[in-house]
Amino acid sequence: MPAALAQSPLLVQRERLLPVILVSLAVHVGLFTAAFLHPSTPQVDLSQKPIVAKLVRLGEKRPKEWLPRKDEGAPAAAAPETVAVPVPPVAPPAPPPAARTTKPAPAPPAKVAPRPANGGRSDVLASVLSRVKRDQALSSPVYGDPNGDPRGDASEASAGDQYLALVERALRESYVLPSTLSDRDRMHLQATVVLYLDQDGRVLRFGFETKSGNGAFDAALERAIRAARIPPPPAELRRRYREEGLGVLYRP
Amino acid sequence: MTSKQSLVLLLAFAPALAAAQSQRAYIEIGSANFQPLPIALAPFRAEPGAEAVAAELNEVLRSDLVLSGIFKVLDPKGFLADPAEGFTAPTIRFSRWSDVGADGLVKALVRRVAGETVADLHLFEVRAGREVLSQSNRGGADATRLLAHRAADDIVQYYTHEPGVFRTRLLALRRLAGGNRELVAFDVDGRRPEVLHRDAGLVLLPAWRPDGKAILFTAYRSGRPELWTLDLGSRRPQRLLGLGDLTTGGVYSPDGTKIAFTGSANGNSDVWVANADGSDPRRLTTDPAIDGSPTWSPDGKRLCFVSSRSGNPHLYLMNADGSGQRRITFQGTYNQTPRWSPRGDLIAFTARDERKVFDVFTISPDTGKVQRVTQDQGRTNEEPTWAPNGRLLAFTSDRKGRPQLVVSSPNGEQQTIVTDDAAVLGTPAWGPLPR
């Protein structure tokens, strides 16, 4: 055999290849054995409270010694109770001719849209009511952080993984459970779902890694996932969330 | 090592490298938005002569389910189903009910039999397309509301696995124009007022005995506040206990064997405990500040009370023997009238906020977290009392002028004014479950 041919890597030389193959085999066997025996653990310690990033709202700090206020404002009264809102008198656009004096007719409130032939009074009333509510909202102090963002929606914030925080917020917005869920179920139910996301954040498919055992709870999770609007993942994470998915542990 | 060997070694370790990089990320989602379960009440069918009863039954049941705070009762105007469809699952087109968003469906047939009202109630799960509850209840001619309340309790029990409270009674003090006071019991929906006791003098702070057969209240018949009991069978009031200058605000322990109250024996207001018959009174607090307004934990092992030892009235906890006293409220300057939920997880109380408005709040005795129940709804919302299942609160509110009773969910999202009494109502007390 020519010397050059003897050096060719295409020639199988058992005495050189055999040890390498044996090493590779041993490594593979060891890895598979370890993977089989060692329970997979999530990257995130699920017993820990997740760290969430929130956009802090611009506002003044509410003194800690004050009792808390609800951010949303007072709930609406239950039907058929209605809350009477004092409405300032509004002059009609067509004043009665006989009763007029030489004084000019009172001008209608500013920014009142032209009324149709029917239901005009209700339009004016709605306009006044919305203005009253807007004025009340403006006059109520907004509590948040003096260094916050006008578009923020949280009065407090903590640092965390940005994209996962956005995903968490999107999933929570659609996460609705029936109020009839018993206390015991609220304390003990949990289910893990794996979401597979495309580059736009849409859920390509999802599946239960572990079900809760409560059909109503699992059905509510399916509805929540279908209704969620998840933001697009960062470019470097797209493949990961498309192929490996994102695990979500749901608890009431 | 040759390049060929390197390549082979790299391929050998490639699976290990890939495995190390492909661990899935997990996040946890909690704090769900709980929303009422959509439920449809089909117009109840009635045999001849029972039409009015069927309509009243439907209306009262609808009102109870709304009041429970856990159901969204759908408007019947939007129903698509055939009104003539039957009462069994095979005869019902569940898709029609699903189209209007119903998860639950209630149907009933009302009959008059030998002067009694018979209501055959059926509850269906729309998604599953099956009947889950079927009951036939009967009652006298004047028992229509009770039949409806019972049906509401059964529906609540099915979904929550907890008892409903619509057959319980709300007790309140009614102040009449002439100065007389009455202890009046209402249905949970504020109807069927029943005067249990009328007094020319001042009576206040009623509390139910756990068996529902007697009421403990404070009266000034002797010129100073003392504890009295009213047996609901004989309607006879009886003096129970009077200590020193002040004996007021008595509440029974959950097992009914003891009472806790505010007493002042040496000119100092303190929390006391005694046997339910008034014997063996023992003082639990000794601080020179004003201590009072006790409420029991549901296991009877602890008490929550109000003390001004810090300078302002705040809520404190202690063991039932008076040991381990610690403050739990640190917000606000005037916190009063605590009431411990039967579930043990929350204590409701009245507090005055920075705008000098009185509102109802809850605090977790474990975490100390305070949450607001009422806000911007009148100037005075006060004296909360818990339903025996801990799913509802009642309190008085002046949002419509005269203080009236309001039934609310614990977070205040669902509030309903249930009374429109001509008189002022105060110090409500929610009765126990019927036995």
Domains for chain B: give ranges and CATH numbers: 37-160 (3.40.50.10070), 169-430 (2.120.10.30)
How many independent structural domains does chain A possess? 2
Q: Which residue has the higher pLDDT, A214 or A91?
A: A214
Q: Under 8 Å CB-to-CB from A8, ≥6 apart: which residues?
A: none
pLDDT at A33 over 70: yes
Residue B34 has a pLDDT of: 84
Q: What is the pTM of this model?
A: 0.73
Residue A35: pLDDT band (50, 70, 90) is confident
Confidence band, pLDDT 50/70/90 cuts, at residue B367: very high
Q: pLDDT tens digits for B413-432? A: 889 999 998 889 999 999 99
pLDDT reading at A74 higher than 70 = no
Contact between A219 and B354 using a beta-carbon 8 Å cutoff:
no
Nearest to B32 among A64, A81, A177 (CB): A177
Question: Confidence band (pLDDT; 50, 70, 90) for A120?
Answer: low
Q: Measured between CA atoms, how close is A116 to chain B, in angstroms?
A: 28
CB contact under 8 A, A20 and B8: yes
Nearest CB to A70 within list B70, B351, B375: B375
Q: Could you tell me if B365 lies within 8 Å of chain A, comparing CB atoms?
A: no
A67 in a structural domain: no
Q: Are residues A211 and A144 in the same domain?
A: no
The average confidence (pLDDT) of chain B is 92
Could you tell me if A190 and A240 lie in one domain? Answer: yes
Instruction: Give dist(CA A224, CA B28) in Å, integer.
Output: 14
Structure confidence at residue A81 (pLDDT): 41
Residues A54 and A139 in one domain: yes
ipTM beyond cut 0.85: no
Q: What is the pLDDT of residue A184?
A: 73
- The whole-angstrom separation of Cα A237 and Cα A201 is 11
Task: Give SS3 for A208.
Answer: strand
- Whether residue A147 sits in one domain with residue A199: no
- Show residues of chain B in contact with A192, CB under 8 Å: 26
The minimum CA-CA distance between B103 and chain A, rounded to whole Å, is 10
Q: Is the minimum CB–CB distance between B18 and chain A shorter than 8 Å?
A: no
The mean-pLDDT minimum among A186-190, B272-276, B362-366 falls in A186-190
With an 8 Å Cβ cutoff, are B375 and A43 in contact?
no
Q: How confident is the model at residue B35 (pLDDT cuts 50, 70, 90)?
A: confident
| pLDDT band at residue B246 using 50, 70 and 90 as cut-offs | very high
Residue A54 counted as domain residue: yes
Question: What percentage of chain B carries pLDDT values higher than 90?
Answer: 79
The answer as to whether A107 is a domain residue is no
Q: Higher pLDDT residue, A2 or B187? A: B187
Are residues A196 and A233 located together in one domain of the fold? yes
Q: What's the pLDDT at B392?
A: 96
A196 within 8 A of A204, measured Cβ to Cβ: yes
Q: Quote the pLDDT of residue A156.
A: 64
Q: For the domain that residue A221 is a member of, what is the CATH number?
A: 3.30.1150.10
A156 and A179, same domain (yes or no): no
B290 contacts: CB under 8 Å, gap ≥ 6: B269, B306, B307, B308, B313
Instruction: Note which residues in 162-201 of chain B have CB less than 8 A from chain A.
Output: 162
User: Least CB-CB distance to A248: which of B5, B27, B331?
Assistant: B27
What is the per-residue pLDDT across B145-177, written as a single tens digit (0 to 9) for each?
999 999 999 999 998 888 999 999 999 999 988
Query: Is A197 inside any structural domain?
Result: yes
Structural domain boundaries, residue A188: 174-250
Q: Which of A17-31, A101-115, B313-327 has the highest mean pLDDT?
A: B313-327
Rounded to an integer, the average pLDDT of B61-82 is: 94
Q: Do A178 and A245 share a domain, yes or no?
A: yes
Q: Is residue A135 included in any domain, yes or no?
A: yes
pLDDT attached to residue A113: 40
Most confident segment among A1-15, A130-144, A149-163, A225-239: A225-239
Across the interface, do B375 and A31 touch by the CB < 8 Å criterion? no
What residues in A contact B413, CB-CB < 8 Å? 75
- Tell me, yes or no, if A194 comes closer than 8 A to chain B by beta carbon: yes
User: Per the CB < 8 Å rule, is B36 touching A179?
Assistant: yes
A149 occurs within a structural domain = yes
What tens digit of pLDDT does each residue of A135-190 get? 655 566 777 777 777 777 776 665 556 788 889 889 988 999 988 887 777 878 89
Q: Are both A197 and A127 inside the same structural domain?
A: no
How far is A92 from A106, CA to CA, in rounded Å? 9
Q: Does residue A44 form part of some domain?
A: no
A20, A176, A192 member nearest B5 (Cβ): A20
Same domain as A56, residue A131: yes
The reply to whether residue A184 touches residue B413, judged by beta carbons under 8 angstroms, is no
**Chain B residue closest to A83 (CA)?**
B400
Residue A136 maps to a domain: yes
Residues A230 and A145 in one domain: no
**Nearest CB to B27; choose among A44, A181, A244:** A44
pLDDT score of B284 more than 90: yes
- Name the closest residue on chain B to residue A21, using Cα atoms: B8
Whether A179 sits inside 8 A of B34 (CB atoms) is: yes
The pLDDT value given to residue B353: 94
Q: Is the pLDDT of residue A73 over 60?
A: no
Q: Looking at B9-23, B45-59, B237-251, which range is the least confident one? A: B9-23
Lookup result for tokens 């004096």:
A101
* Residue B187's pLDDT band (cuts 50, 70, 90): very high
Q: Does B14 touch chain A (CB under 8 A)?
A: no
pLDDT value, residue A5: 67
